[in-house]
Structure 1
Amino acid sequence: MSSPRVRPALVAGLGAVALVVAAAVVAHLHPTDVRVHWPPLHAVWGPRFDVRLVPAVALAVLLVLWLPGFARRAGWGLAVLGTTAASWAWTMALALSDGPYGLSRVTERSSEYPATARTITDVPGFLDEFISRIPVSAADNWPIHVAGHPPGAVLPFVGLDRLGVTDPFWIAVVLVTVGATAVAAVLLTIDELGGRDLARRAAPWLALAPLVVWAGVSADWMFAAVGAWGLYLLARSAVRGSVPAALGAGVVLGYCVFMSYGLVLLGILALTVLWIARTWRPLPWAVLSALGVAVVFAVLGFAWWDAYPVLRERYFAGIASERPYWYWVWGSVAAWTCTVGVATWAALPEWWRRWRDDLREPLTTLVAGGLATVAVATLSGMSKAEVERIWLPFTVWVVAVGALLPDRWVRPLLLLQVLVAVLAQTLLVTRW
Structure 2
Amino acid sequence: MPRERTARRAELVAVGAAIVLVAAAFIVPRIAGEQWRLSLYAAAAPIFGSWLPHIGWGTVPAIVLAAAVVVAGPAAAARLSWPRLLVTGYVAAVGWALSLALVDGWRRGFAERFTDPNEYLHEVPGVTDIPAMLRGFADRILDFQPDSWTTHVSGHPPGALLFFVLLDRVGLGGPTPAALACLLIGCSAIPAVAVAFDALGVREHARAALPYLVLAPAALWIAVSADAMFMAVAAWAVAILAVAARRASAPLAVAAGVLFGLTVFLNYGLVLMALPAVAVLIAGKTMRPLGYALAGAAAVVAAFALAGFWWLDGYHLVVERYYQGIATTRPFAYWWWGNLAATVCAIGLASVAALTRVPARLRAGDPAAILITAALCAVLLADASGLSKAETERIWLPFDIWLLAAPAFLPRPAARIWLTVQAAGTLLLVHLLLTNW
TM-score, normalised on structure 1? Answer: 0.96
1:19 aligns with 2:21: yes
1:344-397: CA deviations, max 9, x gaps?
Answer: 1111222222223x2x31211111011011010001111111001000000000
Overall identity of the aligned pairs, in %: 41
1:283 aligns with 2:290: yes
SS of 1:44's equivalent in the other structure is: strand
Shift of 1:23: 1.7
Shift of 1:326: 2.0
Corresponding residue for residue 325 of structure 2: 318
Corresponding residue for residue 422 of structure 1: 427
Contact preservation (8 Å) 2:216, 2:422: yes
Contact preservation (8 Å) 1:100, 1:169: no
SS of 1:49's equivalent in the other structure is: coil
Corresponding residue for residue 306 of structure 2: 299
User: Which 5+ residue runs of structure 2 have no aligned equivalent?
Assistant: none
Corresponding residue for residue 56 of structure 2: 50
Corresponding residue for residue 170 of structure 1: 177
1:270 aligns with 2:277: yes
SS of 2:103's equivalent in the other structure is: helix
| Residue from 400, 413, 418 that aligns with 1:408 | 413
Contact preservation (8 Å) 1:3, 1:406: no
SS of 2:188's equivalent in the other structure is: helix
1:262-314: CA deviations, max 9, x gaps?
Answer: 00000010010011111111111111221111111011111111111111111
Cα distance in structure 2, aligned partners of 1:219 and 1:52:
21
1:59 aligns with 2:65: yes
Matches within 5 A, 1:150-161: 150-161=157-168
| Residue from 367, 376, 385 that aligns with 1:380 | 385
| Residue from 8, 14, 17 that aligns with 2:10 | 8
The CA RMSD over aligned residues, in Å, is 1.5
1:206 aligns with 2:213: yes
Cα distance in structure 2, aligned partners of 1:9 and 1:150:
39
Shift of 1:248: 0.6
Cα distance in structure 1, aligned partners of 2:72 and 2:318:
46
Corresponding residue for residue 355 of structure 1: 362
- Whichever residue aligns with residue 50 of structure 1, its letter is G
| Residue from 65, 72, 79 that aligns with 1:73 | 79
Cα distance in structure 1, aligned partners of 2:361 and 2:58:
42
SS of 2:11's equivalent in the other structure is: helix
- Whichever residue aligns with residue 91 of structure 2, its letter is A
1:124-153: CA deviations, max 9, x gaps?
Answer: 001011111111032110001110000100
Cα distance in structure 1, aligned partners of 2:144 and 2:181:
34
Q: Point out the more displaced range, 213-222 or 49-58.
A: 49-58
Contact preservation (8 Å) 2:56, 2:102: no
SS of 1:63's equivalent in the other structure is: helix
Shift of 1:6: 2.4
Cα distance in structure 2, aligned partners of 1:336 and 1:7:
22
Shift of 1:51: 5.0
Return closer, same or farther for 1:51/1:168 CA change in 2, 3 Å cut-off: closer
Cα distance in structure 2, aligned partners of 1:386 and 1:420:
18
| Residue from 143, 146, 171 that aligns with 2:150 | 143
Shift of 1:99: 2.4
1:192 aligns with 2:194: no
Cα distance in structure 2, aligned partners of 1:59 and 1:236:
32
Contact preservation (8 Å) 2:58, 2:101: no
Contact preservation (8 Å) 2:54, 2:432: yes
User: Which 5+ residue runs of structure 1 have no aligned equivalent?
Assistant: none
Cα distance in structure 2, aligned partners of 1:427 and 1:203:
27
Cα distance in structure 1, aligned partners of 2:105 and 2:24:
33
Shift of 1:3: 4.9
1:209-253: CA deviations, max 9, x gaps?
Answer: 110111111110110000011111111121111110111111110
Corresponding residue for residue 112 of structure 2: 105
Q: Point out the more displaced range, 291-300 or 62-71.
A: 62-71
Return closer, same or farther for 1:111/1:51 CA change in 2, 3 Å cut-off: closer
Contact preservation (8 Å) 1:3, 1:405: no
TM-score, normalised on structure 2? Answer: 0.95
Contact preservation (8 Å) 2:57, 2:105: no
Cα distance in structure 2, aligned partners of 1:430 and 1:153:
21
Shift of 1:30: 4.2
Cα distance in structure 1, aligned partners of 2:209 and 2:344:
18
- Whichever residue aligns with residue 213 of structure 2, its letter is L
SS of 1:118's equivalent in the other structure is: helix
SS of 1:341's equivalent in the other structure is: helix
- Whichever residue aligns with residue 43 of structure 1, its letter is G
- Whichever residue aligns with residue 56 of structure 1, its letter is A
Corresponding residue for residue 264 of structure 2: 257
Corresponding residue for residue 93 of structure 2: 87
Contact preservation (8 Å) 1:67, 1:83: no
The count of residues paired between Structure 1 and Structure 2 equals: 430
1:224 aligns with 2:231: yes
Matches within 5 A, 1:390-409: 390-409=395-414
